[in-house]
Amino acid sequence: MILEIGNIFINDVQFGSETKVDGNVLYVNAEEIRAIVLEDERIKDVAIELARPRESKRITPVKDVIEPRVKVSGNGSIFPGVIGKVDTVGTGRTHVLKGAAIVTCGKIVGFQEGIIDMKGPGADYTPFSKLNNVCMVIEPQDGLNQYGYEAAVRMAGLKIANYIGQVAKDMSPDEILVFETKPLLEQLNEYPNLPKVGYVYMLQTQGLLHDTYVYGVDAKKIVPTILYPTEIMDGAIISGNCVSACDKNTTYHHLNNPIIQNLYNRHGKDINFMGVIITNENVYLADKERSSNFTAKLAEFLGLDGVIISQEGFGNPDTDLIMNCKKIEEKGINSVIVTDEYAGRDGLSQSLADADTLANAVVTGGNANELIFLPPMDQIIGTDAYINKIAGGFDGSLHQDGSIKVEIQAITGATNELGFNKLTAKSL
């Protein structure tokens, strides 16, 4: 598959009478956005707010972050099986409003949603403080349960990302990047002397609002399978989960997975990037065994010499991570795991809930339990009423002046396990 990504750089976002891009500025019509969102009878109201880099604004509780994109050529549309038909994506050209994002927020589920500060020390921990954000604060209809609310907010974010992305369809990109993965035998023969490397992409699927969707299917219902990397870059995987904010993979993360992008950068130079194995993170032991067995079998089937394995979430999924690592290593395939740590505020506790001697090559996104002080902001987009309750918060986290003391666990993307952050740690 060959996918061209045409990036149109966005340096600012403003309200306007029509939704368009002019001079690298994205203009959005708030009333048109409201009208689209309010088509869903589950939603009572929505407020549209803008948040730009270095503004004194705090967005919370954050549900998802989505990059506006549009298919220009090739099969399907962005977010297949959800917004568009279930066509196989990953080919042709896709235009991207690079530097812009849709952020969904509001009451949501509350206890595992996060914070995005657009300035101050908190902004350094989240990549989304660098984006020009169109924020939607969504209020549900009275009596709507949290599952219905999450589904409504998820769909609203995807619909608006698709709506805004359409303005890029006929534009000339500022840059065009080309990514290609060939059918298996061709890929094997292209660089026969380079090590064959694959990527095991673990998706959060523990249920109870910890969900991820593949071509519109809840990934709890899949067995591990192989995807072209370009399918993922083209919207085949979307977030629907409420795992702790620091290490959840938002839809933006899936679209811009840095592991995939860096493997492509190395492809043909010192590795032969063979493709992606997606697998789920399960609750029950039998399901964990089944999925890790399939994952190891597929890695062997592809003839891989090495794999990178990334996790999403922590605690229970640590077992899936170690199972995948151990079984792949036992096939004679080298592995590197990418995770983060919950080592206590002093950093002295056990970092992962599971371990094995074969998991001896580890990249970490940092310790999520470290404390941070966030000064007050001039504007709250959403509500700070849940600060004391969200994962990483505690009684007394929110101070009367609007400042906050929390674990970095509460900051969206702070310890992301794709490496989409600035933190790491090392053994002493």
Q: What is the DSSP string of 164-231?
A: HHGGGTTSPPSEEEEEE---HHHHHHHSTTSPEEEEEEEEE--SSS--EEETTEEGGGPPPEEE-HHH
What's the rounded Cα separation, in Å, for the pair 168 and 97?
7
The helix (run of H) or strand (run of E) holding residue 50 is strand 43-51
Asked if the structure places residue 424 within a domain, the reply is: no
Instruction: Give per-residue pLDDT as tens, 41-50.
Output: 999 999 999 9
Buried b (16+ CB within 10 A) or exposed e, 260-297: beebbeebeeebbbbbbbbbbbbeeeebbeebbebbbe
Tokens of 42: 């589950």
Tell me what pLDDT residue 111 has.
62
Asked if the structure places residue 82 within a domain, the reply is: yes
Asked if the structure places residue 287 within a domain, the reply is: yes
User: Can you give the residue range of the structural domain that contains 248?
Assistant: 2-410
What residue type is assigned to position 269 of the chain? K
- Average pLDDT value for residue range 79-93: 94
**Residues ≥6 apart with Cβ < 8 Å to 380:** 57, 58, 60, 402
- Average pLDDT value for residue range 119-140: 97
Tokens of 344: 């206590």
For the chain, the farthest-separated pair of C-alpha atoms sits apart, in whole angstroms, at 64
Which residues make beta-bridge pairs with 66? 102
What's the rounded Cα separation, in Å, for the pair 5 and 179?
8
Dihedral pair phi/psi, residue 327, rounded to 5°? -70, -35
Asked if the structure places residue 426 within a domain, the reply is: no
Asked if the structure places residue 123 within a domain, the reply is: yes
Q: Single out the catalytic residue among 105, 242, 246, 325.
A: 242
Instruction: Give per-residue pLDDT as tens, 245-285.
Output: 999 999 999 999 999 999 999 999 999 999 999 999 999 99
Asked if the structure places residue 416 within a domain, the reply is: no
> 422 falls in which pLDDT band (50, 70, 90)?
confident
The mean predicted confidence, pLDDT, of the chain is 94
Number of structural domains in the chain: 1
Tell me what pLDDT residue 109 has.
62
Question: Which pTM does this prediction carry?
Answer: 0.96
Q: Give yes or no for residue 137 having a pLDDT over 80.
A: yes
Tokens of 342: 């919950």
Asked if the structure places residue 397 within a domain, the reply is: yes
Asked if the structure places residue 392 within a domain, the reply is: yes
Sign of the CA dihedral running 253, 254, 255, 256: positive
Tell me what pLDDT residue 115 has.
96
Q: Is 325 a catalytic residue?
A: no
